[in-house]
Amino acid sequence: MNKTIRNIFGLTPKRVHHQQRQFESALAFKVISPLSNITLANEMMELNHKDGDMKLFSDIIKRNCNRINQLVIDTRMNEMSFVFAEK
């Protein structure tokens, strides 16, 4: 696998891991901002609409935002543990 990566892209495995970490970091950053906006908008909807159907949909949005946020946190933690392992 490592020879394949090096031969096709001219990258060493260490460079491939570095590029992957950069991509994951950029992706996490790009997800956090809209996710925060969705969470805030959902909270505002909860304050303004108290009916049962809206509560159901609001809970679905909140639960899925929390799941995405946890994925981002896990990605960042893996990135940090990899950086500390290199040192």
In which region does residue 10 sit, left (phi positive, over 0), alpha (psi from -120 to 50) or beta (all else)? left
Domain ranges of the chain: 2-86
pLDDT at 64: 96
Q: 13-48 and 52-86 are packed helices; what angle lies between their axes, rounded to 10 degrees? A: 160
pLDDT level of residue 74 (50, 70, 90 thresholds)? confident
pLDDT at 59: 93
For range 5-21, the mean pLDDT: 73
> Which of the two residues, 86 and 50, has the higher pLDDT score?
50
Whether the per-residue pLDDT at 55 is higher than 90: the answer is no
For range 58-76, the mean pLDDT: 91
